[in-house]
Amino acid sequence: MESSIRKGASGIPTPKYCHFSANLIIEVFFLVNIYDGQK
């Protein structure tokens, strides 16, 4: 999955962007799990 993200962001040379996007996806996934648990 990470390889596909890096390929998609190949236009951007900064690796920090890939790291940030990966963290953002994980954070959103975590928040969604908490939200589903509170239903």
pTM of the model: 0.40
The average confidence (pLDDT) of the chain is: 69
Residues 16-32, mean pLDDT to the nearest whole number? 78
Instruction: Decide if pLDDT at 15 tops 80.
Output: no
DSSP letter for each residue of 1-39: -HHHHHHHTTT---HHHHHHHHHHHHHHHHHHHHHHHH-
Would you list the domain boundaries of the chain? 2-38
Instruction: Decide if pLDDT at 2 tops 60.
Output: no
Rounded to whole angstroms, how far apart are CA atoms 22 and 34?
Answer: 19
**Could you tell me if 9 and 21 are in contact, meaning their C-beta atoms sit under 8 angstroms apart?**
yes
Residues 25-31, mean pLDDT to the nearest whole number? 87
Instruction: Decide if pLDDT at 27 tops 70.
Output: yes
